[in-house]
Amino acid sequence: MQHWRHAPHALYVHVPFCPSKCHYCDFFSIAQAHPPIDAYVDAVLEEAVHTTTECTPEAINTVFVGGGTPTVLSAGQLSKLFQGLARVFCLTRAAEWTVEANPGTLDIDKLFSMREAGVNRLSIGVQTFRDDLLRALGRVHDRADVVRALELVHEVGFPDVSIDLMYGLPHQTLTDVQESVREALALGVTHISVYGLKVEQGTAFYAWQQQGALHRPEEEEEASMFAWICDYVAAHGYKQYEVSNFARAGHRSKHNTVYWRNESYYGIGAGAHGYVRGVRHENIKNVQSYIRAPHRARNSCTDVRIVEAMEEMMMLRLRLLDEGVPFVAFQEQFGVSLVDVFGHVLERLVQKGWIDITAEQITLTNAGLWMGNEVFGAFLGEARYAVHT
Ligand code: SF4
C-alpha cells in the first residue's frame, strides 16, 4: 500500500529566466539583461546528482522543463542541460520529454539541439494570435513569430506540439477567441491548453485592476468564450480530457497527468516544486543563492498527512474528465475505501448533479465542470479517517 511513497517516475526542471516579465505573470521568473545561465545549468546538474543520491530514481517516464522560458538558453546550453540530465536520470526509451517554449525565442539550432537530446514534445506559450492583445499582455512575441516558430518545429519534426491559449483577457472579445482557436488548429498542433486569465497579487495586472484600469470581459462573456472553445475544439477531433486541456488521440500530456493523478515527481531548479516519497518541497526562489549551493536548494519540506493526500487525490483526479477517481486507485493508494472516507460528500455532490458515480469511478458531470471550484473544495477537511499510530 501507499505507493505514493515510492521513488518518482517523473522529473520537473525549472528554468527561471525570461526575456521580459509578462504583465499577468506570478511564476518564479526573472528578466535581466545578462542572466547567469551557464552557472545555473551547472547548478541544476549538481542538484540532479544530489537528488538522486538522496532518493535513487527508478526509470523516468516523463520529463518537463518549464519556467520561465527554457528556450532563452542557447542551443549549446540546452544540449549541455539535457545531456547532463539524461546522464543522471535513467529515462525510458518511450519517455515523454517536454520543453516549454516561447515563440519569440525559438530558432532552428535550438530546435535541433533539443530534438537530438531526446526532447519529443514542445509546449508553446502563444496565448492569443492578436498582436495588440499580445502587447497588452507584455509578451515578447507576435503572431508572425508563432507562425514562423511552428514552421521550424514541423521542419525539425516533433511528434507532440502543444499550444497554450488564454481567454478573458482585457479588451478580448468572443470573436478574438474564435479566431485564435481557429488559427491554432490550422497550425496542426496535437494538443491545446486553454486558461482563463487569473489576476494574481504582485503582478502588473493586479496593480492596474486595483486602479480600475484593467478592462476585462464580463463573467458571462468569459463563460461563453470557454463554452465555445470546448464545443469547437471537440468538434475538430480534440478530446477534452482535463478541465483546461484538449488532445488528439494518443497525445495527452503524460507529465501533467502525473500531477493530476497526484503521483510523485522530482523537482529541480530554483523555485521548483517536487513531491518525493510523500514529502512536498519547494526550492529557494533566489537564483544566486541557488547557484552558490544547489545541494541546499530545499526551502521548505512538508510531509503530506494521509488525509491531505486523500483530499488532494479527489481534487486533482476529478479534473481528469473521463478517468476521474477510480475506486480501485483510492483503495490501492490508501488501503481504505473511498466511500468510507468521502461517502457523505459524494452523496451531496450527486444530489446537486455535479458528479457521476459508476461501479468503477467518480467523474465530473457537465454541470460539475462549470462548478469545478465548489466541487473540489467540497472535499476539504471532510475525510472521515482516523490515523492509528
Ligand atoms: S514567459 Fe511565462 S514565465 Fe516568463 S514572464 Fe511570461 S508568463 Fe511568466
Instruction: Give SS3 for 14.
Output: strand
Shared domain for 256 and 314, answered yes or no, is: no
Shared domain for 210 and 342, answered yes or no, is: no
In the chain, which residue ranges form alpha helices assigned H by DSSP?
37-54, 75-88, 108-117, 131-137, 143-156, 174-186, 204-210, 219-235, 254-260, 287-292, 306-317, 327-334, 338-352, 366-370, 372-377
**Is residue 279 one of the residues assigned to a domain?**
no
CATH number of the structural domain spanning residue 153:
3.20.20.70
Residue nearest to atom 8 of ligand 1 (CA): 25
* pLDDT higher at 66 or 91: 66
Q: Which three cell numbers stand for residue 369?
A: 465542470
Shared domain for 133 and 194, answered yes or no, is: yes
Shared domain for 256 and 315, answered yes or no, is: no
Give the number of the atom of ligand 1 that is nearest the alpha carbon of residue 67: 3
Q: Among candidates 235, 141, 224, 144, which has minimal Cα distance to 182?
A: 235
Shared domain for 325 and 227, answered yes or no, is: no
**Is residue 115 one of the residues assigned to a domain?**
yes
**Is residue 298 one of the residues assigned to a domain?**
no
**Is residue 388 one of the residues assigned to a domain?**
no
Instruction: Give SS3 for 98.
Output: strand
Q: Which of 226, 260, 294 is the last residue of a domain?
A: 260
Choose which residue among 14, 17, 22 to substitute to test ligand 1 binding: the one with the highest number of ligand atoms within 8 A of its C-beta. Answer: 22
Q: Which three cell numbers stand for residue 331?
A: 483503495
- Distance of alpha carbon 175 from alpha carbon 137, whole angstroms: 18
- Phi, psi angles (nearest 5°) of residue 92: -70, 160
- Distance of alpha carbon 4 from alpha carbon 22, whole angstroms: 36
Question: pTM of the full predicted structure?
Answer: 0.94
pLDDT, average across residues 153-170? 97
Paired residues of 12 in beta bridges: 64, 267
Question: With contact defined as beta carbons under 8 Å apart, do 129 and 189 qualify?
Answer: no
Least confident residue range of 2-11, 82-91, 269-278, 335-344:
2-11
pLDDT, average across residues 134-144? 95
Average pLDDT along the chain: 94
Shared domain for 313 and 242, answered yes or no, is: no
**What pLDDT does residue 302 have?**
81
- Phi, psi angles (nearest 5°) of residue 304: -75, 120
Instruction: Give SS3 for 187.
Output: coil
Shared domain for 133 and 243, answered yes or no, is: yes
Structural domain of 333: 306-377
How wide is the angle at C-alpha 12 spanned by C-alphas 8 and 13, nearest 5°? 135
Whether 168 shows a pLDDT value over 70: the answer reads yes
Question: With contact defined as beta carbons under 8 Å apart, do 281 and 273 qualify?
Answer: yes
Give the number of the atom of ligand 1 that is nearest the alpha carbon of residue 68: 3
Shared domain for 53 and 107, answered yes or no, is: yes
For the chain, the domain total comes to 2
Centre of ligand 1 from the C-alpha of residue 161, in Å? 19
Work out the pLDDT band at 387, boundaries 50, 70, 90: low
**What pLDDT does residue 313 have?**
95
**Is residue 286 one of the residues assigned to a domain?**
no
Shared domain for 49 and 179, answered yes or no, is: yes
Least confident residue range of 31-45, 303-317, 342-356:
303-317
- Judge if the beta carbon of residue 69 lies within 6 A of ligand 1: yes
- Judge if the beta carbon of residue 195 lies within 6 A of ligand 1: no
- Phi, psi angles (nearest 5°) of residue 50: -60, -45
Shared domain for 18 and 147, answered yes or no, is: yes
Q: Which three cell numbers stand for residue 299?
A: 526551502
**What pLDDT does residue 1 have?**
43
**What pLDDT does residue 2 have?**
47
Centre of ligand 1 from the C-alpha of residue 284, in Å? 18
Residue nearest to atom 7 of ligand 1 (CA): 25
Q: Among candidates 222, 219, 261, 226, which has minimal Cα distance to 240?
A: 226
Whether 75 shows a pLDDT value over 50: the answer reads yes
Question: With contact defined as beta carbons under 8 Å apart, do 24 and 200 qualify?
Answer: yes
Q: pLDDT for 40-52, tens place per residue? A: 999 999 999 999 9
User: What's CA 149's distance to the chain center, in Å?
Assistant: 21
Centre of ligand 1 from the C-alpha of residue 81, in Å? 20
The conformational region for residue 34 under phi > 0 = left, psi -120 to 50 = alpha, else beta, is beta
CA-only gyration radius of the chain, Å: 21
User: What's CA 108's distance to the chain center, in Å?
Assistant: 25
**What pLDDT does residue 388 have?**
54
CATH number of the structural domain spanning residue 362:
1.10.10
Percent of the chain with pLDDT over 70: 98
**Is residue 82 one of the residues assigned to a domain?**
yes
- Distance of alpha carbon 382 from alpha carbon 281, whole angstroms: 24
Q: Which of 205, 233, 260 is the last residue of a domain?
A: 260
**Is residue 22 one of the residues assigned to a domain?**
yes
